[in-house]
Chains A and B, each alone.
Chain A
Amino acid sequence: MQYILATYALEKSDRLFINSMLGMANKKFGLQWRLDDNNGQATVVDVETPEGRTFWQTNQAHKTLIAYAQTNTYRATYFLEKPLKVQQVTELLKSLADNLSPASASNAVSPNASSQNNPAGLAHYQPNDFLGGLLKKILAVEQPYTLQLAGTPPLHVIPEDKQCYSVEMDLFEPNPIQKMWFKSPADQFQKQPIETARLTLIREEFTSYPIDTFLWLSTLNSSNGSLLVGHNLPTPVRLKEYPNFSILPYESFQMQLAAFMLKNTASIPRIAANTRQSMPAVINFYNACAMLELVLIEKTAKEIPETTKTLSSDKKNLLKNIFQRLMG
């Protein structure tokens, strides 16, 4: 089974090194990797070069990319540390081969999934580093707190109500200031306990929003395609219930992911492959669902095969038409 790796913005010596590693990995693991920069199923990108950074930002949502840098500043799911090391490269190739579909006849760049078990350099999403982790801690201690991030309105969190209170806003279309809540590191928030006497005033004076909405948005916006710490890509999972999108801002592809994951048990790479969504998009969605405790880990379950429910083209077109009409 043949697999194709591409490189982008790598120095010639690094590219040659990777090429020689393909041969070693092929021999060691019985694989058939080859290098072809025009048809790669996964692409190693030197993100420390300007052109590499641009390529990463343009393509990370829909291609399988491996960040190549001294440190994983992009919090990439797939990461190769500089300088290249034999073991690191061969392990990555083996893991990719375990999870990628072999190159098809067309050898087109696959927007579908690839993954690795837990190769060296795999970055995990740590919710404690962001607002979501702060909210979880506040919920655990059941103590109301005001969170203050410079340049944003105060966020009053009252666990008893399962609500956050703040100024009036539309969280389905957050403005850039509100988005700061969801992307800023946790240590930038000041945390102040709320005295019981102030709770009534806060409830009356501010607009309430479900804490789940903040957990959801924080996780979606700060995951950057890195899987939640403690979770594994190859483990079959499913949703135990559909997210309540009436309070959870969503994009149309997340509706489809939710439907697929409610009805099927599959690993994250398989979910990405069968729904034709990028790995980072699936991982971000998975993380957000996991933070809301909507995910069932099915370690012993057998995942579904790499095929989707077969619909006639007429039915597919009809569903697409309805969806388009609703989006309009």
Chain B
Amino acid sequence: MKEIKLVFTGSMGAGKTTAISALSEIPVINTDVNATDEVIARKATTTVALDYGEMTLPDGQKLRLYGTPGQERFAYMWKILMQGALGLIILVDNAGENPLGDLDLYLKHFREDIEKTTAVIGITRMDLANKPNLAAYNDFLRNKNLQLPVFSVDVRRKHNVVMMVQALVAMLEY
């Protein structure tokens, strides 16, 4: 049977592991390692291969939730994880150095997949940094001729993560 999966990607520290944990019925399997000096200022560990969680659908099938490693040097993993996925959730850390640049990076890498499926964008940590605001993200997408939902989210709140997946499903329907 074909695997049913969603992929979470995005900048390091944006909350991919937390988002998957919010939905997963099983403890999230991850491959975190201690961060290097370069990233330790932002988080103690970082994902180097993938996160994995799952949800059981009403008909008994499993919806598999994959999180990609955040750093671009693991980009070869991104394409592999995205194969056959229903869609993509991109998380961007607004308190990062260059959030729009981060989004641009993921859009470039996943553009083909987004055009085949769809994507939803969640902007995290807007409470710590309110610029760029959502309007700036929407303008950025428009300039790239992309029409995708953008939300301000706190991935520690399950309903925010649920909302992103609901939006993704709705986008797939139309």
Q: Please tell me if B150 contacts chain A, counting CB pairs below 8 Å.
A: yes
Given contacts A322-B63, A325-B57, A325-B58, contact A252 B153 (CB under 8 A): no
B61 in contact with A321 (CB, 8 Å): yes
Contact with A along B140-160 (1 / 0, CB 8 A): 001000011111111000011
Q: Please tell me if B76 contacts chain A, counting CB pairs below 8 Å.
A: no
Q: Tell me the complex Cα distance, A242–B173, Å.
A: 15
B167 in contact with A245 (CB, 8 Å): yes
Q: Please tell me if B169 contacts chain A, counting CB pairs below 8 Å.
A: yes
Q: Please tell me if A302 contacts chain B, counting CB pairs below 8 Å.
A: no
Given contacts A325-B57, A326-B162, contact A263 B170 (CB under 8 A): no
Q: Please tell me if A241 contacts chain B, counting CB pairs below 8 Å.
A: yes
Q: Please tell me if B107 contacts chain A, counting CB pairs below 8 Å.
A: no
A321 in contact with B57 (CB, 8 Å): yes
B-side contacts of A326, CB under 8 Å: 162, 165-166, 169
- Closest residue of chain B to A238 (Cβ to Cβ) is B147
Q: Could you tell me the distance in whole angstroms from the C-beta of A267 to the nearest C-beta in chain B? A: 16
A-side contacts of B61, CB under 8 Å: 318, 321
Q: Which of A57-65, A217-225, A253-261 contacts B (4 or more CB under 8 A)?
A: A253-261
Q: Please tell me if A246 contacts chain B, counting CB pairs below 8 Å.
A: yes
- Closest residue of chain A to B172 (Cβ to Cβ) is A319
| B interface SS class | mixed
Which of A246, A262, A317 interacts with B152 by CB under 8 Å? A246
Q: Tell me the complex Cα distance, A319–B4, Å.
A: 11
Q: Tell me the complex Cα distance, A241–B153, Å.
A: 16
B-side contacts of A255, CB under 8 Å: 166-167, 169-170
Q: Could you tell me the distance in whole angstroms from the C-beta of A147 to the nearest C-beta in chain B? A: 25
Most buried by A among B152, B165, B167: B167
Q: Please tell me if A17 contacts chain B, counting CB pairs below 8 Å.
A: no
Q: Tell me the complex Cα distance, A20–B86, Å.
A: 55
Given contacts A255-B166, A263-B171, A319-B172, contact A242 B149 (CB under 8 A): yes
Count, A-B residue pairs, CB within 8 A:
88
Q: Tell me the complex Cα distance, A6–B162, Å.
A: 42
Q: Tell me the complex Cα distance, A309–B172, Å.
A: 9
- Closest residue of chain B to A319 (Cβ to Cβ) is B169
- Closest residue of chain A to B160 (Cβ to Cβ) is A246
Q: Could you tell me the distance in whole angstroms from the C-beta of B91 to the nearest C-beta in chain A? A: 13
Q: Please tell me if A82 contacts chain B, counting CB pairs below 8 Å.
A: no
A260 in contact with B4 (CB, 8 Å): no
Q: Please tell me if A24 contacts chain B, counting CB pairs below 8 Å.
A: no
Q: Please tell me if B138 contacts chain A, counting CB pairs below 8 Å.
A: yes
B55 in contact with A259 (CB, 8 Å): no
Q: Tell me the complex Cα distance, A325–B4, Å.
A: 14
- Closest residue of chain B to A317 (Cβ to Cβ) is B59
Q: Tell me the complex Cα distance, A316–B173, Å.
A: 7
B-side contacts of A309, CB under 8 Å: 173-174
Q: Could you tell me the distance in whole angstroms from the C-beta of A38 to the nearest C-beta in chain B? A: 32
- Closest residue of chain B to A257 (Cβ to Cβ) is B170
Q: Could you tell me the distance in whole angstroms from the C-beta of B73 to the nearest C-beta in chain A? A: 31
Q: Please tell me if A13 contacts chain B, counting CB pairs below 8 Å.
A: no
A256 in contact with B173 (CB, 8 Å): yes
B-side contacts of A244, CB under 8 Å: 134, 150-152
B174 in contact with A308 (CB, 8 Å): yes
A-B pairs with lowest CB-CB distance, top 10: A242-B149, A259-B170, A241-B138, A255-B170, A321-B57, A260-B174, A259-B171, A256-B170, A246-B151, A259-B174
Given pairs A244-B134, A246-B160, A325-B57, 19 additional interface contacts (CB within 8 A): A172-B159, A240-B142, A244-B151, A245-B163, A246-B153, A252-B166, A255-B166, A259-B170, A260-B174, A262-B149, A309-B173, A309-B174, A311-B173, A316-B173, A318-B61, A321-B57, A324-B57, A325-B58, A326-B169
Interchain residue pairs with CB less than 8 A apart (26): A240-B142, A242-B148, A242-B149, A245-B151, A246-B151, A246-B153, A247-B152, A250-B163, A255-B166, A255-B169, A259-B171, A262-B171, A263-B171, A309-B173, A317-B59, A318-B4, A318-B57, A319-B169, A321-B59, A322-B169, A324-B57, A325-B58, A325-B63, A326-B162, A326-B165, A328-B58
